[in-house]
């Protein structure tokens, strides 16, 4: 196996682990995250938990996708979503060190995106 293919698999496993772990916590209604959703979206606790459950399901599905076949648009979304969630933590008052300590959350999907075959057409992003 080539070094690039090995690096790809390491990134795929790491990203899947992150998203599966976070997805499981979200699906199970992690209270601090529900509070962040309430703060950011100005919704009630019940609505925040419903949103969190949907986020958890989505994260778990994306974790499985990146393991089975890393679809470029999904990997891009994972990088964007990870960036958003890192900034939310700062917005709701978490220490800046939480932000700095989570650079790999968005960096790993970007690194994977860089080593996946380049796509020339928009539809290739969905393959």
From CA 63, how far away is CA 36, in angstroms rounded? 23
What is the average pLDDT across 41-63? 97
| CA-closest candidate to residue 107, choices 18, 24, 5, 9 | 18
Asked if the model's pLDDT at residue 121 lies above 90, the reply is no
The 10s digit of each residue's pLDDT in 26-47 is 999 999 999 999 999 999 999 9
How much is the pLDDT for 31?
95
Q: Is the pLDDT at 48 greater than 90, yes or no?
A: yes
The predicted-structure confidence for 106-115, as pLDDT tens digits, reads as follows 999 999 999 9
For the chain, what is the domain count?
1
Give the residue numbers spanning the domain of 42. Answer: 3-126
Higher pLDDT, 80 or 1: 80
For all residues of the chain together, what is the average pLDDT? 92
Q: Where are the alpha helices (DSSP H) in 28-102?
A: 31-41, 45-68, 72-91, 96-100
């Amino acid at each position: 196996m080539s070094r690039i293919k090995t690096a790809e698999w390491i990134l795929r496993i790491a990203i899947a682990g992150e998203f599966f772990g976070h997805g499981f916590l979200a699906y199970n209604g992690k209270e601090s995250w529900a509070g962040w959703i309430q703060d950011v979206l100005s919704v009630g606790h019940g609505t925040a938990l419903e949103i969190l459950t949907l986020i958890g399901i989505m994260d778990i599905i994306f974790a499985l996708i990146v393991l089975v076949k890393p679809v470029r648009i999904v990997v891009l979304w994972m990088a964007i979503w990870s960036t958003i969630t890192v900034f939310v933590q700062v917005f709701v008052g978490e220490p800046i060190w939480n932000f700095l300590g989570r650079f790999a959350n968005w960096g790993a999907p970007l690194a994977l995106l860089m080593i996946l075959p380049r796509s020339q057409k928009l539809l290739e992003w969905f393959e």
